[in-house]
Structure 1
Amino acid sequence: MHLKNLSILFGKDLKYIHSTNLQIKDRFFGKISNMPQNKKSIDCEGLLLIPGFVNSHTHIGDSIAKDVATSGTVDDKIHPIMGIKPRILRKSDPEHLVSFMKNSCLSMIRKGITTFVDFRESELAGILLLKRAISQVPIRAIILGRIEYYQDQNQVQKNTQLPILQRKNLLTILRSCDGLGVSGPNENSNSVLQYLSKTKKMRAIHSAETIESSKKSIKITKKSETSRALLLKPHFLVHMTYAKQNDLRDAAKKTRGIVICPRANASLAEGIPDFLLMEKNGCRVAIGTDNVMINPPDMFREMDYLWKVTMGTHKKRVDPKEILKMATVNGGILLGRKIGSIEPKYLADGIFIDKHSLDLEPMHNPYASIVHRASESTIRAVMIGGRIVHGKF
């Protein structure tokens, strides 16, 4: 495919190029050129191509439970043992779970999300249900499974090892997914976290999401939640809303970065992640939309919220380009994959934005326009791996 007269946000710095030609071959982006070529081409006048969104943290298994628990604590809602979420998942008809997860995937595509990373509950059965849900939906899913084994305070303090049965279960799970998405360090002893760190696939873990979980870690182990989460040797950490500066510095040295979920933290009344502090301490930051039961999986809304609430709380300007990088480039880097950027040899995932749409025209600053004015209605088409999967042009 050869596209001409196209505006793009190019490379890892999202450089704005007003008009160029772009080649797409064998699912990958090729070279850009300002010179017309003697090939059959598609005229993209009036369109801006941006990288496909990378939704770096989701739980779409709870798509069946939208807004079920709007009150109560975090633990009341999503705790892996005590929360209403695991009870709903256990009691729901598997066919219904598949149907609503599929709906969430379709919703993500229409909103420009081309890759999502899911922390998948319910062990192998949950992984297989999600695979069924995406089998007929052309979205890229990175599935991080888990064993449903959670230790109590006594086991954590005694440093209880992972039982042999769970070790076998872990091998079965890892054969069917892309890696591990661990619930958190407070439910796992040092021994368990260190055992899990030896797995060869991708590893990620929730950490320092709430004040209560941070205090609990200190109380039980005399260590910060993040210092124990790092025993997993994770590729990235999730949340870090209440991580201290020394933990952020350690995270910058020992991981690829942090995924924050600002709307989820806010809707759970748990505060706002300070990504400026994270970046100041050397952390790369990406964005996720978290639980579907709490938030619709919409990266436009996530970016808009994060940009404005950060400026409001810090009382200083934030470059909208940095927010857009979190939703695209940074997600690809955290995952170690050639996605999230429009450059040669990267997978051709992109969103074609109509620059003449009512909400965007005239577009004086493309980064600000995308971050706080664009929406599903401004998308002309969505492309994954060089194929148009939604819309047309």
Structure 2
Amino acid sequence: MLLKNLSILYGKDLTYVRSANLPVSETFGKLNQRKGKAIDCEGLLLVPGFINMHTHIGDSIAKDATLSGTVDNKIHPVLGAKQRILKQSNPEHLMSFMKNACHSMIRKGITTFVDFREGGSYGVVLLQKALEHTPIRGVILGRVESYHDHAQIKKNLPLSGDIKKNLAAVIKISDGIGISGANENSDSALQYYSKTKKIRAIHSSETKQSILVSKKIAKRTETERALQMKPHFMIHMTYAGMADLKKAAKKTRGIVICPRANASLAEGIPNFEAMQNAGCKVAIGTDNVMINSPDMFREMDYLWKVHMGLHQKRIDPKEILKMATVNGGMLLGKKIGSIQPGFLADGVFFDKHSLDLEPMHNPYASLVHRASESAISAVMIGGKIIHGKL
């Protein structure tokens, strides 16, 4: 199809193009080429589909189930309430609520999400089934339920043969691995994970407590240990020091931050400015559905305002919009998150005349701190309109 008279945030710099024609198939064509059946898009702004770079949508069954207690009480990978709820839940119920989370994300303009999927191969398959008739693009990072205690980490216990076999099965059916953190794995285990040929990601330096634990049991920072996994990207890094941020910038594609989740757990706010100064590419995720809604509008708006409140320095809203689109594609190493020739045709069509957006003097600021799903006219994934209409 040919989208005519369309405003676009174009290319990796999200350049605002006031009016253009854009041919679309499964991928985007060249700007102002004329191919396909024409659709008049006057009054619409096309933005790259949002990429939610970190979720745990299995938690959808436990929305607001634990509002009090420590971080470990809520989400510890072994002892947390989340794990108990997931283990006790009917698989059909889990799958139903994961589907609901996916449909919620689509309506909010999220076209791709990256999920840290618990439960080994079975957990991966459960999410795959939830996605069978759901058009959103899911990137599933599985894991084996293997965790070392502090004594085992000090002894540098390797993964057992059975765990390695289970890990191979998980990797075969998923898009990669998403590891809970360095404090639950020995150096030997982290180094073994680094051999994975698919996407590798790991939580790191999310809390003050986790940093102290790493120094106590291993005499190194949590980030230094996590980097042994050779991750493509790291999650959180809320309390990483400048030295660790520079190492992450050098050795990974970037960092995924989850500001609202960190705040809801009373664990501070990621210092985006420090990450940027260290040379890190930064993307955004919404994290656990149990404690946070999978809503990138809220995430962007919160980051923009809380950073100003804490540092008296506002982040350029275009940079935040890149964190929700372009940067996610770069961290994943995929041709998504940008409207340019050859990239998958994922996009969100906004009504420029919607009540909350008109008049739109600055499209980046409008989208970051004024837009909501009510301003969305349609959502496109792989060149197909899967929500709303043009």
Q: TM-score, normalised by structure 2?
A: 0.99
Deviation digits for residues 341-363 of structure 1 (CA, Å, limit 9, x no counterpart):
00000000000000000000000
Look up the match of 2:134. Answer: 137
Whole-Å separation in 2 of the counterparts to 1:120 and 1:329: 24
Look up the match of 1:203. Answer: 200
| Alignment check: 8 A CA contact 2:147 2:184 kept | yes
Whole-Å separation in 2 of the counterparts to 1:277 and 1:51: 26
Whole-Å separation in 1 of the counterparts to 2:383 and 2:48: 12
Structure 1 gaps of 5+ residues are none
1:282 aligns with 2:279: yes
Deviation digits for residues 309-349 of structure 1 (CA, Å, limit 9, x no counterpart):
01111101321000000000000000000000000000000
Distance 1:38 1:192, change over 3 A: closer
Whole-Å separation in 1 of the counterparts to 2:193 and 2:288: 24
Whole-Å separation in 2 of the counterparts to 1:301 and 1:7: 24
Whole-Å separation in 2 of the counterparts to 1:40 and 1:327: 30
Look up the match of 2:106. Answer: 109
Whole-Å separation in 2 of the counterparts to 1:38 and 1:253: 42
Whole-Å separation in 2 of the counterparts to 1:53 and 1:206: 21
Look up the match of 1:328. Answer: 325
Q: Secondary structure of 1:31's match?
A: coil
Deviation digits for residues 208-243 of structure 1 (CA, Å, limit 9, x no counterpart):
000000100000000000000000000000000000
Whole-Å separation in 2 of the counterparts to 1:256 and 1:275: 16
Deviation digits for residues 57-91 of structure 1 (CA, Å, limit 9, x no counterpart):
00001100000000000000000111000000000
1:1-393 matches, within 5 Å, as 1-25=1-25, 27-33=26-32, 37=34, 40-393=37-390
Letter in 1 for 2:371: A
| Alignment check: 8 A CA contact 2:200 2:232 kept | yes
Distance 1:205 1:39, change over 3 A: closer
Distance 1:38 1:232, change over 3 A: closer
Shift of 1:130: 0.4
Letter in 2 for 1:30: G
Whole-Å separation in 2 of the counterparts to 1:52 and 1:199: 28
Deviation digits for residues 157-179 of structure 1 (CA, Å, limit 9, x no counterpart):
01001111101111111111000
Letter in 1 for 2:192: Y
Whole-Å separation in 2 of the counterparts to 1:197 and 1:360: 45
Q: Secondary structure of 1:306's match?
A: helix
Q: TM-score, normalised by structure 1?
A: 0.98
Q: Secondary structure of 1:29's match?
A: coil
Letter in 2 for 1:266: A
Number of equivalenced pairs:
390
Shift of 1:40: 3.1
Whole-Å separation in 1 of the counterparts to 2:198 and 2:377: 36
Whole-Å separation in 2 of the counterparts to 1:383 and 1:212: 42
Moved over 2 A (4+): 37-40
Structure 2 gaps of 5+ residues are none
